Structure 1
Amino acid sequence: MLDSHRNTILACALSALAGYVDAIGFLHLNGMYVAFMSGNSTRLGVSLAAGHWSNAAEALGVIALFVIGAAAGCLIVLGHGVHRQPWLLLTEASLLAGSALCYSFALPNAAIAAMVLAMGLANAVFQIQGGGGLGVTYVTGTLVKVGQHVAAALRGGPRWDWVPNLLLWAALVAGSFCGALAYHWINLAAIWFAAGIALALSAIVAATIHR
């Protein structure tokens, strides 16, 4: 998926956006993620083992919303073909703007739900019709690819193939850093910035999609 400079830049921008939103959700939910479902799945298992049923229900609810968002993203991919990326990003921007509005109207739970749906949907931006794609809200697989490409380079393979995946990881960390700062500054209202960035990405991708 990271086979061109355009895709690498877009993937890094989306990874940074995911990190930004996830950091805000993590701080607001005291350790629950809105984009990283591996962490939430571990938390679900630990909560069940400890008998913390409310925490387990919260984790399961977030995971379910994320899956619904991913399914919605897949439906957009199937319905819009080569134009899927602008529509997906526009939908993501709308969900994030809706999240910020919900917070403005003192509906924090609805705000979090919209954030989770947006993060699930974001993973379909690089989806291939009828198949898988590149996930932008988690980096475990990305770091595995860094290691694999480094090993290949050491054995005489392409020297720099590991760099795009390392940039993807660095973008998520940088986005998380900015999200944490923004949350401490203005709480969930910081999602307005994420909505604006997603909207800008939608416009840029729509303008460059035929190039």
Structure 2
Amino acid sequence: MFDRKIPFPAFALLFMVAGATDALIYLHSRDLLAVYMTGNSSHIGRDIGDGLWGDLKPLLAVIATFFTATTLAAWIGIRAGRWRPTVILLLTAALMSASMPFAHSDDYPFTTVLFIAAAMGVLNQVSANESGVTFLTGMLVKTGRAFAEGNFSAWFDGLVRWSALVAGAALAIPLDQHLGRHALLAVAAMLALGAVFTAGHALMRRHRTKQAS
């Protein structure tokens, strides 16, 4: 089920962000996948098997960046309390914005990929109740189990996530064609909009809590 601290529009937006970021990375960084640590880990194993030791450094750097960012985001999120989603989304937006100035060619340079990896590591700590919120494979497994159990509310949750991710990936193509590297700023703007939604939601929840007490 959706995290009650994250309003529905913000939850849909963050999955659109994940889809858009995936698509941009596949378009501009086929060897270093800033959003796909499973693929990077498989590449490491392949390079070890082929004896390509020099190719390990950038892959390890991307994974280390993702891990460090998600760890720090978890630490920050714990201390942010009710403001966790807002803080995490703003941090993600800042990192995504920081990735854009370095993206001066058709292929994203290493620095851009590292910033995007950090942003995605942070984004996946947006919910206190669920880690790795944009991990599609695990989400599809949960959705299939929910459908088998007749839990159609949870099944709908999974369907919305998948649909939003696909929509975000589709949106990334015209953004990339018309905006070029500034498509990364469009993604950052989506994250900032999500932060506005979550901040408003947190204020409403606090107001209701005060009224009830």
Q: TM-score range by the shorter chain?
A: 0.7 to 0.9
Q: Which residue in 2 is equivalent to 1:33?
A: 33
Aligned length: 203
| Distance across 1 between alignment mates of 2:22 and 2:73 | 18
| Distance across 1 between alignment mates of 2:13 and 2:179 | 22
Relative to 1, partners in 2 of residues 1:134 and 1:149: Cα closer, same or farther, differing over 3 Å?
same
Task: Specify the SS of the correspondent of 1:161.
Answer: helix
Relative to 1, partners in 2 of residues 1:38 and 1:8: Cα closer, same or farther, differing over 3 Å?
farther
Task: Specify the SS of the correspondent of 1:209.
Answer: helix
Given candidates 133, 139, 142, the residue that maps to 2:139 is: 142
| Distance across 2 between alignment mates of 1:187 and 1:109 | 17
Say yes or no: does 1:204 pair with 2:185: no
| Distance across 1 between alignment mates of 2:24 and 2:43 | 18
Q: Which residue in 1 is equivalent to 2:208?
A: none
| Distance across 1 between alignment mates of 2:5 and 2:79 | 26
Letter in 2 for 1:108: P
Relative to 1, partners in 2 of residues 1:134 and 1:183: Cα closer, same or farther, differing over 3 Å?
same
| Distance across 1 between alignment mates of 2:148 and 2:173 | 34
- Report the alpha carbon displacement of residue 69 of structure 1 after superposing the two structures with TM: 1.2
Letter in 2 for 1:150: F
Taking structure 2 as the reference length, the TM-score comes to 0.84
- Report the alpha carbon displacement of residue 159 of structure 1 after superposing the two structures with TM: 3.5
Query: Identity rate of aligned residues, in percent?
Result: 28
| Distance across 1 between alignment mates of 2:179 and 2:49 | 36
Residues 109-137 of structure 1 deviation map (CA, whole Å, 9 limit, x = unaligned): 32221111110000111024xxxx24233
Q: Which residue in 1 is equivalent to 2:166?
A: 173
Relative to 1, partners in 2 of residues 1:74 and 1:159: Cα closer, same or farther, differing over 3 Å?
closer
| Distance across 1 between alignment mates of 2:73 and 2:87 | 9
Taking structure 1 as the reference length, the TM-score comes to 0.84
Residues 42-99 of structure 1 deviation map (CA, whole Å, 9 limit, x = unaligned): 2221222222334332222111111011012112112211111111111111111111
Letter in 2 for 1:109: F
- Report the alpha carbon displacement of residue 3 of structure 1 after superposing the two structures with TM: 5.5
Runs of 4+ in 1 over 4 A off after TM superposition: 3-8
Q: Which residue in 2 is equivalent to 1:72?
A: 72
Contact 1:85 1:205 in 2 (8 A): yes
Contact 1:35 1:138 in 2 (8 A): no
Given candidates 144, 147, 151, the residue that maps to 2:148 is: 151
Relative to 1, partners in 2 of residues 1:27 and 1:34: Cα closer, same or farther, differing over 3 Å?
same
Q: Identify unmatched segments of 5+ residues in structure 1.
A: none
User: Counterparts of 1:54-73 in structure 2 under 5 Å?
Assistant: 54-73=54-73
Q: Which residue in 2 is equivalent to 1:108?
A: 109
Say yes or no: does 1:125 pair with 2:122: no
Which has the larger displacement, 51-60 or 61-70?
51-60
